[in-house]
Amino acid sequence: MKEFTNYTAGPRGINTEAGTVWLEPGQSVEIDAKTIKGAIPDLGKAPAAADTSEIDGLKDQVADLTKQVEALTAEKADLTKQVEALTKPADAKK
């Protein structure tokens, strides 16, 4: 038995003596190679292992930028309160 995995975006069919075996994207199946009729369709290639170090670095950058945005938002709120206090009409101060 040989294992076949469909790495393409669409379904693929492998013709066997018993009929066509359809594989959906990502699906694997074991088929006896002796029962296959005709050529095996292009099933694509397995994706390469992801380099998580780059992803982790980007996550750290996002966390740092999020902290900066939160700090600036708090600073803006403080400045808005100061502006409101300084621009109140004279009657409101009494």
Q: How many residues does the chain have?
A: 94
Calculate Rg over the CA atoms of the chain.
31
Q: Does residue 14 belong to any structural domain of this protein? A: yes
Q: Does residue 29 belong to any structural domain of this protein? A: yes
Q: Does residue 72 belong to any structural domain of this protein? A: yes
Question: In which domain, by residue range, is 28 found?
Answer: 2-35
**Contacts of residue 9, Cβ cutoff 8 Å, sequence gap at least 6:** 25
Determine the average pLDDT of the residues in 43-71: 90
Dihedral Cα 62, 67, 72, 75, nearest 10 deg: 170
Residue pLDDT, tens place only, 5-39: 999 999 999 999 999 999 999 999 999 999 999 99
